[in-house]
Amino acid sequence: MTHKILVMPGDGIGPEIVTEATRLLNALRERFGLDAELEKAPIGGAGYDAAGEPLPEQTLKLAREADGLLLGAVGGPRYDELPWEKRPERGLLAIRAQLELFSNLRPAILYPQLASASALKPEIVGGLDIMILRELTGGAYFGKPRGIDTREDGVRQGYNTIIYSEPEIERIARSGFDIAMKRDRRLCSVDKANVLEVSQLWREVVERVAKDYPDVALSHMYVDNAAMQLVRAPKQFDVIVTENMFGDILSDAAAMLTGSIGMLPSASLDAHGKGLYEPIHGSAPDIAGQGLANPLATLLSVAMMLRYSLNEEAQAARVEAAVGRVLDDGLRTPDIWTQGCDKVDTQTMGQAVVAALSD
Ligand code: IPM
Ligand code: MG
């Protein structure tokens, strides 16, 4: 069966890095028999430019029909003045919500070749391989009531609601345990149960789900402590499962442990394994269009898509091996460059990965 892949370049460095992903997918089709067809659609600021909406109807339609979705990045200063509902970020949040992509996998892996690019000492981050599982369609990002209004006494106020139902907590907890079963069988649930009722319910439900996974060692940690532990002793973690906003923050911190946010892919999955794949870095408008962007997070996102949504494990492994080879060869985009390596641009890096693909 032909896989339908929708690529959505988006804004900033998005088009450059997605160009490299498209090059990679085409090489897999032409040289390694990947049966896939590619379509392209605008999202974010590009969606607004093309159709007046950050998530154009046609893009959503194609997204619903696709088996795998690849996104570059959204957002940029050009769109900062737009009304709230037209902002690029709304396109990303809308596609997550519309497709019910509740399970967001954000691995933080330190490639041995890049150990010296991390801001932390090699003995603290060497061999790091953790997975942050972020709930993606609930919590403060989507909870109601929300808004900015004026109180009776004339004072303006802004508010959001962190809200989770038991089924929402249960399904992300199950994802967490399932992932832990495939790894080192350790799951740390991060919450703020000493302050928030929603976290108390979270903890209760996670404990309940744990009964179905006797082989997984479950622990709980408050989010402030988790932030500290991530930079103090990150290797203590295997899988972290947490709510939407905590996951947003902790995954950026975890990403930086690996030296560059430019290396990390992510997957956002629905209940059936369909997913949206994107590098976890943003649109980086400051470096857009200059060939400075690191395409590896996007190429590794393609690998995740092949593995988790398209069931093409061998192709996924092929891509990951090629990335490893290129790093072994000393090629580095500026974000991961260190003395003695070859500094290359976005396209050279993408082409090198394609050239390094093998049987
Ligand atoms: C992320 C980003 C998004 C988020 C923004 C762009 C809306 O920071 O994917 O982590 O907060 O979820
Ligand atoms: Mg974020």
The domain limits of the chain are 1-112+264-359, 129-257
Q: How much distance in Å is there from the Cα of 267 to the middle of ligand 2?
A: 13
Q: Which of 224, 328, 329, 342 is catalytic?
A: 224
List, chain by chain if needed, residues with CB within 6 Å of any ligand 1 atom. Answer: 89, 92-93, 248
Q: What CATH superfamily classification does 129-257 receive?
A: Isopropylmalate Dehydrogenase (3.40.718.10)
Q: What is the pLDDT of residue 237?
A: 98
Cα–ligand 1 centroid distance for 92 (angstroms): 8
CA of 358 to the centre of ligand 2 (A): 34
Annotated active-site residue 141? The verdict is yes
Tell the CATH superfamily of the 1-112+264-359 domain. Answer: Isopropylmalate Dehydrogenase (3.40.718.10)
pLDDT at 277 (0 to 100)? 98
Q: What residues flank ion ligand 2 with Cβ within 5 A?
A: 248
Specify the residue with its C-alpha closest to ligand 1, atom 12: 248
- Specify the pLDDT at position 116: 81
pLDDT at 118: 84
The helix, strand and coil proportions of the chain, stated in percent and rounded to the nearest 5, come to 45, 20, 35
| Ligand 1 atom nearest to CA at 75 | 6
Q: What is the pTM of this model?
A: 0.93
**Separation between Cα atoms, residue 57 and residue 59, nearest integer Å:** 5
Structure confidence at residue 115 (pLDDT): 83
Taking the centre of ligand 1 as the mean of its atom positions, its distance from the CA of residue 139, in whole angstroms, is 13
Beta 239-242 vs 186-191: how paired, if at all? parallel
Q: What does the alpha-carbon distance between residue 175 and residue 92 come to, in Å, rounded to a whole number? A: 22
Q: Which of 274, 240, 288, 304 shows the shortest CA–CA distance to 95?
A: 274
The pLDDT of residue 247 is 97
Run means of pLDDT, 10 residues per run, the chain, 359 residues: 97 98 98 98 98 98 98 96 96 97 96 85 92 98 97 98 98 96 96 98 98 98 98 97 97 87 93 94 95 97 96 96 97 92 97 97
Binding residues: 76-89, 96, 106, 134, 224, 248, 252, 282-294
Spatial separation of the C-alpha atoms in residues 99 and 104, rounded to whole Å: 13
Letter string b/e over residues 183-204, b meaning 16 or more CB atoms within 10 A of that residue's CB? eeebbbbbbbbeeeebbebbbe
Instruction: Give catalytic status of residue 328 as yes or no.
Output: no
Q: Give pLDDT, residue 202.
A: 98
- 148 forms beta bridges with 158
Please indicate whether the domains covering 1-112+264-359 and 129-257 agree at the CATH topology level.
yes
* Backbone phi and psi for residue 267, each to the nearest 5 degrees, phi listed first: -130, 140
Taking the CA of 74 as reference, the closest ligand is: 1
342 carries an active-site annotation: no
Q: Is the Cα torsion angle 70, 75, 248, 261 positive or negative in sign?
A: positive
Structure tokens at 37: 């067809």
- 10: left (phi > 0), else alpha (psi -120 to 50), else beta? left
Q: What pLDDT was estimated at residue 256?
A: 86
Does residue 149 carry a catalytic annotation?
A: no
Q: Which of 11, 67, 191, 192 is catalytic?
A: 192
Q: b/e per residue, 340-352, with b = 16+ CB within 10 A? A: ebeebbbebbbbb
Nearest residue (by CA) to ligand 1, atom 10, is 248
Q: What is the pLDDT of residue 113?
A: 87
What is the Å distance from ligand 1's center to 248 Cα?
7
Q: Which residue of the set 11, 67, 248, 335 is catalytic?
A: 248
Q: What is the pLDDT of residue 262?
A: 86
Give binding residues for NAD(+) as ranges.
76-89, 282-294
Whether 192 sits among the annotated catalytic residues: the reply is: yes
Which among 48, 111, 141, 277 is annotated as catalytic? 141
